[in-house]
Amino acid sequence: MKYSNKNEAYIIIDSVPGDKSISHRAFMLSAIAEGSTYISGISICRDCLSTINCLQSMGIKIDIDISKKTAVVHGKGLYGLSKPENVLDCQNSATTMRLLSGILIAMPFDSVLSGDSSLKKRPMKRIIEPLKLMNGGIYSLNHDYAPLYIKGGKLNGIKYFSNISSAQVKSAILFAGLYAGNTTTVLEPELSRNHSELMLKDFGAGISTDYFKDTSYNFHISTTISNTDKLYSHDIHIPGDISSAAYFMAAALIIPDMHVLIRNVGINPTRTGIIKVFKQMGAYVNIYPAENSGSEPYADIEIKSSQLHGIVIEGSIIPTLIDELPVICAVSCFAQGTTIIKDAAELKVKESDRIAVMCSELSKLGADITETCDGMIINGKKTLRPSKINSYYDHRIAMTFAVLNAAIGGGINIKGSECADISYPGFYNELKKVCQKSY
């Protein structure tokens, strides 16, 4: 559908799926709050359904209206979860496994969390270590990988320095901190996604974030949570997922004469690294923030075809765009000059080794790309050609190559393309409609 404003024609994207990260947290915290929580804008992707199914297996009633993208979660309080009869199947969702571990470790029962073959390759030592330091009974049944056996019990607060900026690690510790006998503090090198902190505060938890200076005078982020007696239900609106919007932003930049307006996209500052990077590359991007959007801000994003140039992407911006780096890498193939991505070793332990996969599969298309120990080097403006590529069943990889397929006029065959449903059901139909191309 076209929209005209000041003689400019836009392709309107009225909505992308609700933010996946916020949806997970909304369901979990609503389940352990007092009373019923109404949630609008929920994501119904496979990952979030994993969280919903796990909570329902522990006695939480959740009423979902898929057509309206709403849910009502009937919370049972901090200790209201019931012992599951079977293993909790997190499927492909590391967020489900890691964050639920922080809650289950305080419950008066034992539980086991497992998942699919991909999830069983994701590192879990990063949450096992701090939760054990809190006196938590958490054990890997597979050499620091899933399945995880959790023996619930009484917890102690800790002060924990995480050497990676990971919202999942931080959130698992903070969720456990709700139940600890004293305060719990998480220190991280850079501020990772802060959806948990914002939502915990909205539910009534005592939580604060500050800066911490170590003995070498290096600054870190410090987040502290206090033991909590109750969480209180309240209405939650979930904005559109910027990670999902990223594919349409990328398509608009690299497909000639495209001009899109994506509505109601979350612009939490810990997630907007992709906007900053695209602007640094010379992209035409405008942000129109909504008024009174609450603790999770959102906006309409306007973006159109642009002449791009290479840049260096490194340091503190990396945690704010970690999931968007594959599509940024693809866009860099169309930029003039060289783009260098550094400090992104975390990409190696996602659903696939995204550094290795992007380098190997883009090379099949004729891209000039070199893998490094913590990123990649892309020399742009090379002619890309159709080829058969392997997504390795990583949804971010599959959707990235779908954008490239649209950009070069088709011919890219994506093995495992169905994995896009993990985060964005219906993505391919929406991309086809927006790009007005057939493939």
Which residues does the annotation mark as catalytic?
A: 323
Q: Alpha helix (H) ranges present in 300-439?
A: 325-332, 354-364, 395-407, 427-435
Asked if residue 264 lies in contact with residue 297, where contact means CB atoms within 8 angstroms, the answer is no
Q: With contact defined as beta carbons under 8 Å apart, do 324 and 281 qualify?
A: no
Give exposure, 108-126, as e/b (b: 16+ Cβ within 10 Å). Answer: eeebbbbbeebbeebebeb
Q: How far apart are CA 416 and CA 403, in angstroms?
A: 15
What sign does the dihedral 226-231-236-242 (CA atoms) show? positive
Q: Which of 186, 213, 182 is nearest to 197 (CA)?
A: 186
Residue 30 phi/psi, 5-degree rounding, is -65, -35
Q: Nearest 5°: CA angle at 126, between 123 and 127?
A: 110
Q: 204-212: which pairs have CB atoms within 8 A and are 24 or more residues apart?
A: 204/228, 204/230, 204/231, 204/232, 205/178, 205/231, 207/174, 212/187
Task: Taking each helix axis as running N to C, give the angle between helix 395-407 and helix 427-435, from 0 to 180 degrees, rounded to the nearest 10.
Answer: 20
Q: In the block, which residue shows the tokens 């000041």?
A: 6
Cα–Cα distance measured from residue 240 to residue 262, given in angstroms and rounded to the nearest whole number: 9
Backbone angles phi, psi at 234, to 5 degrees: -165, 160
For the four alpha carbons of 241, 244, 249 and 252, in that order, the dihedral sign comes to negative
Alpha-carbon gap, residue 39 to 72, rounded angstroms: 6
Q: Which two tokens stand for residue 169?
A: 């690690």
